[in-house]
Amino acid sequence: MTVIDSFTERCLKVAARRWPADMRDERYREWTAEMHEIRSDASTSGGRRAWEQLRYAFSLAASPPAPDENRVPRGWREMAPQLGQRLRPWAVLFGMGVVCSLLAGTARGMVPGVLGAVTGTHTDPSGERPAIITVASALALLGIIVLTAWLGVVIGRRMPLLPDPRGRAARVVSVVGAPVAVGLGLIVIDAGQMLELTGSGAISAQTWLYGPLLWMAMFAVVALVAVALARSGRSGVGRALGIAMSLFALEVLAVPLAYLGAASIGFRLPASPAVALWFPMSLVGGPLADEHLTHTGVSQVMPMLVVASGFTLWYAIAASRVRVTAPRPAPKFAGSASLIVSRPRTGFALATAAIGLAVWAAGLAYATPAGIAMADLGDSQFMMWASELRITSIVLICVAMGLAMVGRGRPILTLFVTASGLLVSDTVLDAFDRTGITGLAGAVGFGVVVLVAAWWLGRTMLLAPPSAAMVRRGHIGIAVTAAMCAPFILTQSTWPETASEGAPEVPTPVVFPAVATVVLVLLTAVAGVSAVAARQRPVSTPVSVALIGLPVLVFGGLGVASGQAGLPGFGSIVMLGALLGLPYTVWVLATIWWDRVRNPGRAGMAWTGIAVAAVPGTVVVIVVGVMGSTMVTGPLMTLQGAGYPADGVSVMPGVILAAIGLGTLTSRIMGRDPRPDSDSRAATANTPQDLPHGHNPYPVAS
């Protein structure tokens, strides 16, 4: 039997396994007979026969399976039962490693930066920090440690790595796996820092890798001791000893990290350090320790390790105390079997995705070289503007594809595949300097392949028709994410007077305001359409046009004006439009919530007050966006071969992450089914549970 024969047989077994038990043998014999006919066809060449075997076997293995007894289609979970549930805790711990690194970076960078700007004090890394900045940074880091420790308890009680470890080896894996998974999440963020710092000579890039690796090995011992005490009934002793051992391990870890980092950059450390405790000094700074800890990267790595230590210790102890419960019953199908879709809304979303694809390709092919040309004249901020426009265009395509998939398939899977594919394509095409018509054609080609794959996966991987609540949550999440991302691209707007001191007559290339305008208008339109669709009670066409059209006109005008000179002494007035980021999000939330309002006057005053209060909150979002973007944009631009511009500050990646978090949270809160009170009887009567089976409360064309 050849390799192709073995592979095709395996595919046939996989396909048969996903059918009911009483039909598997019959199906397998039928497919095997057909495969024998293909293999024995003497009228075709050997290569043709091999191709037909592979095509037939793979089509059976990848085709939609038969439904089970609960009318839920059998999917890939039938090949590996409960694999998703087993991998979920590992994925969550990996993500928490990323979160710990980002939170520690916020405490280390944002708090000193904000206080330094408020007090007008410049913090010199080689000198002593002001007392207020030192104390505030330490308190912020302490608060983050407490927060992550609490999250460790919550996640540990709900997602232990091994709920019922049997045997000594399984118990060790259930404990040691936690620091390993969290450490891998830390390394992912550190890999970006290493790419940005390699060759700079400023601080050691290798320290970002040595730190998490050594921490994983040392903290595995700490977790084993603490969990052993907790399992023996001495939880308090386990926590206290775990804290003491963690502090000792971090102090021991700081010394080799400093010497390894110093050796990698040629920095000479004294044989006998002047400061005994390097770990505490790496957190608060100081005139004696900063010289040894800042240049070697220890002061940048240790905050995230102490945050990860607090989370992992409390997670391991909480997970070790989980008792095995009865398995959950099989999911039951509820609601209508019809897909909850709107053909006009789907058409709008797909058209928006197509336009967004063209705009992203244009930004890659024309805005990027224009930004490089402006940087050669003295202003590299245009490079940052081009990079942010491309990232925001990818967000536009993602939310449009998600809107098209809501009610039809799995929007989250579609969003993930679209974002990953387009981001990789953007990085590769930019790294190989594909510009002009060649870059435009290449970007469109890659983009079409990515969108087709995302659409196919989103439709075929649907396990069950979505309920009305799931559809509403999808619309809310997309609306909030798009509304929050749209205005912040205005922060990158610049104008001819700042283009170059040597050549002030050079105007802003027209591709920048053109791409910015299209992205702003379409993101605003997607947010408005999703918000109107998320309402429990439909609104009239004139009201819908007003709710969607008014913000589109405002942001469209700001997009057209981007790149133009602003008020003297105040910079570009267009950049002030970014302050509408959170207020427009409040507008979208009010649109969704308004059908629950009893007193319109009082509700209007309340939402207006919230929108006004959101204006200063937008400044906080911008600061958080800047801090979060520093760990994404720098490594990304290094991979693209450009390097971080000398002028310009990245904002959008951090804002996008914040928007995704806010969209997820609001969809969970506002997407709940209404309670059957007197004011929501009409809405409750339209839920699938109260309708006859087979009735679809949402018509196909609405």
Looking at the fold, whether 301 and 388 belong to one and the same domain comes out as no
- pLDDT digit string, tens, across residues 385-444: 888 888 999 999 999 999 998 888 888 888 888 998 888 888 888 777 777 788 788 888
What CA–CA distance (Å, rounded) separates 645 from 637?
Answer: 9
Please check whether residue 433 lies inside any domain of the structure. yes
Label residue 76 by pLDDT band (50, 70, 90). Answer: very low
Residues 6+ apart with CB under 8 A from 564: 495, 508, 513, 572, 574
My answer on whether 106 and 205 are in the same domain is yes
Task: Decide which of 288, 320, 352 is a domain's last residue.
Answer: 320
Per-residue pLDDT for 523 more than 90? yes
User: Are 258 and 269 within 8 A, CB to CB?
Assistant: yes
Question: Residue 486, exposed/middle/buried by CB under 10 A (0-12, 13-18, 19+)?
Answer: buried
Q: In angstroms, how far is the first alpha carbon of the chain from the final one?
A: 56
DSSP single-letter state for residue 462: -
44, 105, 317, 340, 546 from 534: Cα distances, Å: 56, 36, 41, 12, 16
Q: How many domains does the chain have?
A: 3
Query: What pLDDT sits at residue 407?
Result: 82
58 and 98 inside one domain: no
Q: Are residues 228 and 106 in the same domain?
A: yes
Q: Is residue 502 helix, strand or coil?
A: coil
On whether residue 454 sits in a domain, the answer given is yes
Hunting for tokens 């003297």 — which residue is that?
568
34 and 129 assigned to the same domain? no
**280 and 366 share a domain?**
no
Tell me, letter by letter, the H, E, C secondary structure of 62-107: HCCCCECCCCCECCHHHCCCCHHHHHHHHHHHHHHHHHHHHHHHHH
Predicted local confidence at residue 691, as pLDDT: 39
Tracing tokens 């429990």 back to the chain, one arrives at: 536
Mean pLDDT of 693-701: 40
Q: Cβ atoms within 10 A of the Cβ of 443, count? A: 25
Report the candidate in 272, 263, 248, 268 with the shortest Cα–Cα distance to residue 207: 263
CA atoms of 210 and 162, how far apart (whole Å): 28
How far is CA 522 from its chain centroid?
A: 21
Residue 396 and residue 356 in contact, taking contact as beta carbons nearer than 8 Å:
yes
pLDDT digits (tens, 9 = 90+) for 205-216: 566 677 788 888
Residue with tokens 């066809």: 41
Does residue 695 belong to any structural domain of this protein?
A: no
DSSP H helices in 285-410: 290-293, 298-320, 343-362, 368-376, 381-405
pLDDT at position 357 is 92
Domain boundary among 11, 45, 63: 63
Q: Which residues pair with 73 in a beta bridge?
A: 67
Asked if residue 367 belongs to a domain, the reply is: yes
CA-to-CA distance for 19 and 75, rounded, in angstroms? 10
Alpha-carbon span 212 to 214, nearest angstrom? 6
Q: How many residues does this entry show for the chain?
A: 702
**What is the mean predicted confidence (pLDDT) over 178-200?**
69
pLDDT at residue number 261:
63
In a domain, 693, yes or no: no
CB 361 within 8 A of CB 447: yes
Three-state DSSP class for 596? helix
Least confident of 47-51, 366-370, 623-627, 667-671: 623-627
What pLDDT does residue 683 have?
Answer: 39
Of residues 473 and 259, the one with the higher pLDDT is 473
Residue 624 carries which DSSP code? H
Do 253 and 352 reside in the same domain of the chain? no
300 and 448 housed in the same domain: no
Q: Residue 398 has what pLDDT?
A: 93
For residue 3, the tally of other CB atoms under 10 A from its CB is 8
Is 242 found in the same domain as 124? yes
Is residue 319 pLDDT above 80, yes or no?
Answer: yes
pLDDT over threshold 90, residue 526:
yes
How crowded is residue 255: how many other Cβ atoms within 10 Å of its Cβ?
Answer: 15
Residue 79, C-beta contacts closer than 8 angstroms, at least 6 positions apart: 14, 17, 18
Least confident of 138-152, 380-394, 615-629: 615-629
Residues 351 and 286 placed together within one structural domain of the fold: no
- Residue 673 CA to residue 693 CA, distance in Å, equals 19
Cβ(262)–Cβ(355) below 8 Å: no
Q: Are residues 208 and 270 in the same domain?
A: yes
Distance between CA 307 and CA 319 in Å, rounded? 18
Domain annotation covers residue 688: no
> Is the pLDDT assigned to residue 695 strictly greater than 50?
no
Domain that holds residue 138: 89-320
- pLDDT value at residue 449: 92
Confidence class for position 574, pLDDT limits 50, 70, 90: low
In whole angstroms, give the CA distance from residue 182 to residue 101. Answer: 10
Report how far residue 288's alpha carbon sits from residue 303's, in angstroms, rounded to the nearest whole number: 18
Find out whether 19 and 27 touch, Cβ atoms under 8 Å.
yes
Query: Is position 681 within any domain?
Result: no
Point out the domain boundary residue: 264, 285, 320.
320
Q: Are 312 and 219 in contact (CB under 8 A)?
A: yes
Handedness of CA 634, 639, 640, 643 (dihedral sign): positive
Residue 337 maps to a domain: no
Residue holding tokens 């427009």?
A: 584
Cα angle, residue 629 at apex, residues 625 and 635 outer, rounded to 5°: 180
Residue type, 250: L
Q: In degrees to the nearest 10, what's the CA dihedral of 567, 571, 573, 577?
A: -160
> In one letter, which amino acid is 69?
E
Instruction: Write down the pLDDT at residue 300.
Output: 72
Whether residues 129 and 272 share a domain: the answer is yes
